[in-house]
């Protein structure tokens, strides 16, 4: 939900409505709302579109998008998730 929180912040800063961003992404407003709440994952291309719209570095939003994917992958692994992330972090260096 890191990405969704950041999108919400950007919307507030720029005074943009969900329906405006939904139209930009060519999706309906309920779908956009789910992305913002973290109930649904945005596509990589949509994340880039949002970064371009808000005129921010696309890597900022893509990093949050990818972090959400990692967190989702380890969500139910309470005992092992920290160790698994540590091992992965060492692997990617």
The domains of the chain, with CATH numbers, are 2-92 (1.10.260.40)
- Please list, in sequence order, all residues whose beta carbon lies within 8 angstroms of the beta carbon of residue 74, skipping any fewer than 6 positions away: 80, 81, 84, 85
Q: Which of 40, 38, 50 is nearest to 13 (CA)?
A: 50
Write the pLDDT tens digit of every residue in 46-80.
999 999 999 999 999 999 999 999 999 998 888 89
The answer to whether residue 9 scores a pLDDT higher than 90 is: yes
The CA distance from 11 to 61, in Å, is: 14
pTM of this structure = 0.88
């Amino acid at each position: 939900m890191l990405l969704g929180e950041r999108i919400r912040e950007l919307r507030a800063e720029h005074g943009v409505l969900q329906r405006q961003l939904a139209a930009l992404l060519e999706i309906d407003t309920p779908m956009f709302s789910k992305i913002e709440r973290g109930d649904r994952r945005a596509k990589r291309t949509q994340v880039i579109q949002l970064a371009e719209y808000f005129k921010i570095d696309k890597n900022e939003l893509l990093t949050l998008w990818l972090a959400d994917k990692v967190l989702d992958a380890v969500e139910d692994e309470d005992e092992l998730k920290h160790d698994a992330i540590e091992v992965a972090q060492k692997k990617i260096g």
